[in-house]
Amino acid sequence: MQSSKCQNAKLQQWVKEAAELCRPEAIHWCDGSQAEYDTLMAQMVKVGMATPLDKRPNSFLFRSDPSDVARVEDRTYISYPHQEQAGPTNNWIEPDKLKGIMLDLYKGCMAGRTMYVIPFSMGPVGSPLAKIGVEITDSPYVVCNMHIMTRVGDRVLEVLGADGEYIPCLHSIGAPLQPGQADSSWPCAPIEQKYISHFPAENLIWSYGSGYGGNALLGKKCLALRIASAVARREGWMAEHMLILRLTSPEGRQYHVTGAFPSACGKTNLAMLLPTIKGWKVECIGDDIAWMKIGPDGRLYAINPEAGFFGVAPGTSYDSNPMAMDSIKENSIFTNCALTDDSDVWWEGMNGAPSHTIDWKGRDWTPDSKDVAAHANARFTAPASQCPIISTDWEKPEGVPIDIIIFGGRRASVVPLVAQAYDWDHGVFMGSTAASETTAANIGAVGNLRRDPFAMLPFCGYNMGDYFQHWFEMGDRLGAHAPKVFYVNWFRKTAEGKWLWPGFGDNSRVLKWMCERVDGKVGGRETPIGILPNEGDLDLTGLDLPAQDLQELLKVDAAAYQAEVPDMENHFAKFGDKLPGRLSAQLEALKKRLG
């Protein structure tokens, strides 16, 4: 039960108590080694849970239970003693009550299974910005994914030492095995028994019933966003749902950019973009989460706390994201993708459809089938180090200094291609009112406008009114060193439904304008919603963009914005007296500018 490598008595005690509660057949302390990964994968292949892929060395396909395919927002809880601490955007149950429910579920839940203890670091091991977590799980699939997505192993226990702090993350798939009972290939609990619970006042995570993605790989959304956002507020830094990239100009000047976009807005594609403008280069630092802290020089520094990508497979192709395609050539895990006859994975939007595959439910599939071959939320898990344009500085312990923060969403109309915030407060307003039209990949009806402040709606670990205030306070501390803030919309369409902007690599043209704005080298015009490029300010060299399309992309329709004001007012009203006065002032200023 004990590990000779773990000097931390508190951790040893927690593992003992978890074992007494969950009653596993065996306990395994993970060392993060390749041998450990290979052994677990071989076991999962043997029992039919994983399929090795001939076309991709050391890569495996998993098919989840059809009831366990995505994050379950309805079953995700932010549990503080008082509901107001969780705020209007989070599900809440009082901690004692929630723990009572979950303790009943955890009793004996690992019977017949091995309990794995995973010491992991979010952020480079030993970085001043890193945090240590320990996940206890009964899922070998989770262990292998955590190997890729975080830094696992003995080095973490060394840094933890005898009295270091860690965030305990207890996870069970919720499927005990009775003696002689046959296992299923993706055991999990029914939806009404799934709980993804966070106790931010105690830095504690309890997850039960799901083996999928953000519900089960607890370092990602649970620790690095929900718990970390609450820790960051207390400690005076920021945990954000943001990509991080470095842009280098032909002159060699480096700019670091973070970007927050709701799901299905191409965050991973932007993080790995190949610029179409001559001489400019992008390096990827992270595709999903940024932890940002003010450095000794007063600037904001960001690290990517993760070590891998857990990307959406459908729609990923050599057209949309060649760097992601190259990242997943080997050493990758695929979940809910289709299996081709030559033992490779396939998904909708990858390239031409094969004449036959086995679909994500294990059934024969042909292009005539009425269902999709890969689930819309099928995923790849790949080491970030395999991305051909991963930055040489992506693991720099102190992070990279941020020049530009981008917010965005998917809007077919109203919102122009790009606008710069007048100042930090205006930028906070842009982030707090960010909205996106829902797609098939989201919950709810397609085309609905969903306000997703800072793309943090499902990930903020405390009252979002307080979170808005924290952004203002960070801006006050940053002062003149604050990054410049922009809002983008790559998804503008004509009345006929045609994309107005080519997107992907051509988004570098918009990034270039932002960099030149930072340096005061390019123009812009003041509009009611922010500073927009004049038509000549964007570098459109080599791009065949009709003049009327450019006009439309850079148009500010004051009446259309005015029509959105009531929705913004309703959105803000939800936060009651937690809404910072500085946000109400921004809304009033916008109304005045709109006339």
# residues near ligand O2Y by CB under 6 A: 10
Q: Which does 401 bind (CB under 5 to 8 A by kind): ligand O2Y, Mn ion, none?
A: none
What residue has token string 């949309």?
320
Q: Give the residue with the Cβ less far from ligand O2Y, 290 or 531.
A: 290
User: Which of 85, 197 has the CB closer to ligand O2Y?
Assistant: 197
Please name the residues in contact with 548: beta carbons below 8 A apart, sequence gap of 6 or more: none
- Which CB sits closer to Mn ion, 50 or 260? 260
Question: Which among Mn ion, ligand O2Y, none contacts residue 273 (Cβ within 5 to 8 A by kind)?
Answer: none
The residue from 71, 470, 484, 509 that contacts ligand O2Y (CB under 6 A) is: 71
Beta strands in 430-573 (DSSP E): 435-437, 449-451, 484-488, 525-527, 530-532
* Measured distance CA(324)–CA(330) in Å, rounded: 12
CA 184 to chain centre: 29
Match 């973070």 to its residue by tokens: 258
Query: Of the candidates 172, 229, 263, 321, which one interacts with ligand O2Y according to CB under 6 A?
Result: 263
What is the Cβ-side half-sphere exposure of residue 209, based on CA atoms within 13 angstroms? 20
Query: Is 265 labeled as catalytic in the residue annotation?
Result: yes
* The only residue of 15, 40, 53, 70 in contact with ligand O2Y, by rule CB under 6 A: 70
Q: Nearest approach, Cβ of 155 to ligand O2Y (angstroms)?
A: 25
Tokens coding 265: 């807005």
Structure tokens at 261: 């976009």
We find the least distance from the C-beta atom of residue 55 to ligand O2Y, in angstroms, to be 24
Cα separation of 156 and 441, whole Å?
36
Selecting among 144, 265, 284, 460, the annotated active-site residue is: 265
Measured between alpha carbons, how far is 365 from 291 in angstroms, rounded to an integer? 42
From residue 593, give the alpha-carbon distance in Å to each of 424, 451, 563, 589: 18, 22, 14, 6
Residue 212 touches which of ligand O2Y, Mn ion, none (Cβ within 5-8 Å per kind): ligand O2Y
**What stretch of H or E contains 115?**
strand 114-122
Give the H or E element holding residue 482.
Answer: none
Cβ-Cβ contacts under 8 Å for 480 (sequence gap 6 or more): none
Dihedral of the CA atoms 11, 12, 14, 20 (nearest 10)? 160
Q: Which is nearer to ligand O2Y, 223 or 419 (CB)?
A: 223
Minimum Å gap between C-beta 269 and Mn ion is 13
Tokens of 170: 């207890």
Q: Which does 346 bind (CB under 5 to 8 A by kind): ligand O2Y, Mn ion, none?
A: none
Paired residues of 60 in beta bridges:
52, 333
Q: Which is nearer to ligand O2Y, 215 or 463 (CB)?
A: 215
64 binds, among Mn ion, ligand O2Y, none (CB under 5 to 8 A by kind): none
Among candidates 6, 19, 62, 73, which has minimal Cα distance to 456? Answer: 73
Stretch that binds ligand O2Y, among 208-216, 245-253, 380-388, 496-504 (CB under 6 A): 208-216
Residue 303, amino acid? I
Is 467 a binding residue for ligand O2Y by CB under 6 A? The answer is no
Instruction: Please identify, among the stretches 209-217, 231-239, 246-254, 486-494, the one whose residues bind ligand O2Y according to the rule CB under 6 A.
Output: 209-217
Stretch in the footprint of ligand O2Y (CB under 6 A) among 114-122, 210-218, 429-437, 583-591: 210-218
Asked whether position 171 contacts ligand O2Y by CB under 6 A, the answer is: no
**Shortest gap between Cβ of 151 and ligand O2Y (angstroms)?**
18
Q: Which does 24 bind (CB under 5 to 8 A by kind): ligand O2Y, Mn ion, none?
A: none
- Residues 514, 404: contact at Cβ < 8 Å? yes
Q: 424-432 and 464-478 are packed helices; what angle lies between their axes, rounded to 10 degrees?
A: 160
Does 288 interact with Mn ion (rule: CB under 5 A)? Answer: yes
Residue (207 or 263) nearer to ligand O2Y, CB? 263
Helix, strand, coil proportions of the chain in percent (round to 5)?
Answer: 30, 20, 45
Please report whether residue 306 would count as binding Mn ion according to CB under 5 A: no
| Structure tokens belonging to residue 175 | 């499927």
- The reply to whether 214 sits near ligand O2Y by the rule CB under 6 A is yes
Residue 332 C-beta: closest distance to ligand O2Y, Å: 14
CB of 205 to ligand O2Y, least distance (A): 15
φ/ψ region of 32 (left if φ > 0, alpha if ψ in -120 to 50, else beta) reads left
Nearer to ligand O2Y, 218 or 292 (CB): 218
Q: Report if residue 166 touches ligand O2Y, rule: CB under 6 A.
A: no
Specify the stretch interacting with ligand O2Y by CB under 6 A; choose among 213-221, 315-323, 332-340, 509-517. 213-221
Distance CA 575, CA 462 (A): 12
Query: First CA to last CA across the chain, in angstroms?
Result: 69
In this chain, which of 212, 471, 486, 504 binds ligand O2Y, going by CB under 6 A?
Answer: 212
Counting contacts by CB under 6 A, is residue 375 touching ligand O2Y? no
Report if residue 288 touches ligand O2Y, rule: CB under 6 A: yes
Residue 214 binds which of Mn ion, ligand O2Y, none (CB < 5-8 A, kind-dependent): ligand O2Y
Q: Which residues are catalytic?
A: 265
Which chain residues interact with ligand O2Y by CB under 6 A? 70-71, 212-215, 263, 288, 310, 377
Which chain residues interact with Mn ion by CB under 5 A? 288
